[in-house]
Amino acid sequence: MPHTADVAVRIRGGSLKDLFATAAKAMFAVLVTKKANGPAAGLSELKIEKTGDTLEDVLKAWLDELLFEFQGNGRMLHRIKSLSVGEDAVSACVLVCDFDRASYDLKDEIKAVTYNELKVEKGRRGWQTMLVFDV
């Protein structure tokens, strides 16, 4: 990236669902590094229902929701239980747990998931996108 305060990741998925799930995992890979295996504490379900005018809006809304959960409530994504993605909406049920400093180190602080060069595209072998995080 032509800027020192960004992290960009390129993501592919066989389906939109895969793409969204991978994007969420990628974002957490930017946020934290795992250093030890430990039990997930305070597991709870979080329902995410978001709409947007475009697929890009929907993808951003989905990641924003998870980012806020992490930075606002200190809860991180543990597992995606169900996820369905349409052209203008996402509906998911995810398991979140407490962020545990014993098992994870914080890596980069993401200020925002940006619209920069954000384009969700369908290729012949599935979906792809590039995410730029403002860190």
**By the rule CB under 8 A, 87 interacts with other proteins:** yes
Choose between 22 and 114: whose C-beta lies nearer to other proteins. Answer: 114
* Interaction mask 106-135, other proteins, x per CB under 8 A: xxxx-xxxxxx------xx---------xx
Task: Give the distance, in angstroms, between the CA of residue 50 and the centroid of all CA atoms in the same chain.
Answer: 14
- Helix (H) or strand (E) segment spanning residue 73: helix 55-73
**By the rule CB under 8 A, 26 interacts with other proteins:** no
Residue 45, helix vs strand vs coil = strand
Q: Which residue, 91, 7, 89, 21, is CA-closest to 54? A: 89
Among the listed residues 62, 86, 98, 128, the single contact to other proteins using CB under 8 A: 86
Smallest gap from Cβ 57 to other proteins, in A, equals 7
Residues paired with 82 in a beta bridge? 93
Q: What is the spatial distance between Cα 124 and Cα 76, in angstroms, rounded to a whole number? A: 33
Q: Candidates 19-27, 35-43, 82-90: pick the segment binding other proteins (CB under 8 A).
A: 82-90
Smallest gap from Cβ 116 to other proteins, in A, equals 6
**By the rule CB under 8 A, 81 interacts with other proteins:** no
Q: How many residues does the chain have?
A: 135
| Contact residues for 82 (Cβ-Cβ < 8 A; gap 6+) | 92, 93
Interface residues toward other proteins, by CB under 8 A? 2-5, 49, 51, 53, 57, 61, 64, 68, 71-73, 84, 86-91, 106-109, 111-116, 123-124, 134-135
